[in-house]
Amino acid sequence: MPLGAGYTAEEQITGEAEHGGLQIMVYPMKREVFEERFPISEPELARFSQPACMSLESTGSFDLGLAPGGRMKQEIYDDPYDLFDWDTGRTSRCFVHIANSLVWGAITGDHPPTVPPTAPDYSRRGLPWFDYYDDRGAAVQGSGVLARLKSVVQLGKEKGDVPLPENEWTPTDKIITIRKGLARHQVREGRF
C-alpha cells in the first residue's frame, strides 16, 4: 500500500510512514559451526562470500509498504540451532523495497513484464492455489502486536474508503497441498 494513508503495518504500529518496504536483520552463523554442520568445498564457500548489491539511488521513490489483508497465512518455527551457533556480535541489515510499475521501469529500464492476473482471473482460468504445510513441527505463537493490525479492508470501511477497488473476493476451489519433508528427488503425487 502507498505510505501516508495509514494502511501499512509500519504506520499502524509506529504511527509514522518513515521506511516502507521490509527490513531484515541477519545474524551470520559462526564459521566453525557452519563448516561443521554444512561441509562444503572451498570454491563453493567462496560463492557464498560474494556480495550482491544494486544502487537504487536514482530510481525514484519507494513509497510503498506492507499492509495486512488477503488470505495468505504464514507460520514461523523455532530456530533449530542453538543461540550460541550465531554470531550475535555481527549483523547485517537488508532493506527490501517494494517497487510499483513506475519504479520497476526506473530500476530495469524496461516495462514491467505483465499485468498480474487478479484473483478472480486466476480462478476463472482454473489455475491452482497452493497450501504449503509442515506437519513435523508446531509454529511459534504469533506476535500480539501484529495480531492487532487491521486489514486494508477493515481500515477502508472505517475510513469510508475503498482503497483497492480492483481487488474482489474470489472463491479458491482448486487448492493443491504441498507437504514439507519430501525426500531428495521424491516426487509428490499430482492431481490431474
Q: Please tell me whether the overall predicted TM-score, pTM, comes out greater than 0.75 for this model.
A: no
Burial 108-135 (b: 16+ CB within 10 A, else e): eeeeeeeeeeebeebbeeeeeeeeeeee
Distance CA 38, CA 112 (A): 38
pLDDT of residue 57: 54
Assigned C-alpha cell, 1:
500500500
pLDDT in tens, the chain (192 residues): 889 999 999 999 999 998 888 889 999 999 999 989 888 766 665 665 555 555 555 455 668 888 988 766 777 888 889 999 999 999 999 888 888 877 888 888 888 887 777 788 888 888 888 777 666 677 888 889 988 999 998 999 999 998 877 777 777 777 877 766 666 556 656 554
Give the type of residue at 158.
E
DSSP result, the chain: -BTTSS-SHHHHHHS--SS-BEEEEE-PBPHHHHHHHS---HHHHHHHT-------TTS----BB----SS--------SS-GGGB-TT--EEEEE----HHHHHHHHSS--S-PPPPHHHHHHTTPPEEEEE-TTSPPPPPPHHHHTPPPHHHHHHHHT--S-TT--------EEEEES-PPTT--PPP--
Q: Determine the Cα angle at 92 with ends 91 and 96, to 5°.
A: 145
Q: 152 Cβ partners below 8 Å, 6+ apart?
A: 1, 7, 67, 68, 69, 163, 164
pLDDT of residue 27: 93
pLDDT of residue 30: 95
pLDDT of residue 122: 82
Residue 94: name the closest of 1, 14, 21 by CA: 21
Sketch the domain layout of the chain as residue ranges.
9-179
pLDDT of residue 182: 63
Assigned C-alpha cell, 184:
531428495
